[in-house]
Amino acid sequence: MANQPVILNVYDMYWINEYTSSLGIGVFHSGIQVYGREFAYGGHPYPFSGVFEITPGDSSELGDTFKFKEAIALGSTDFTENDIEKIVEELGKEYKGNAYHLMHKNCNHFSSALSEILCGREIPRWVNRLAYFSSCVPFLQSCLPKEWLTPAALQSSVSQELQEGLEEAEEAAAAAAASTSTAVPRPARHTKL
| Positions marked active-site | 29, 107
User: Contact at 8 Å (CB) between 109 and 127?
Assistant: no
Beta strands in 3-66 (DSSP E): 4-12, 28-34, 37-41, 51-54
Please list, in sequence order, all residues whose beta carbon lies within 8 angstroms of the beta carbon of residue 45, skipping any fewer than 6 positions away: 97, 98
Q: Could you tell me the strand order of the sheet in which 28-34 lies?
A: 51-54, 37-41, 28-34, 4-12, 67-77
Say what the alpha-carbon torsion angle 94, 100, 106, 109 is, to the nearest 10 degrees. Answer: -20
Q: Is 126 helix (H, G, I), strand (E, B) or coil?
A: helix
- The number of residues making up the chain comes to 193
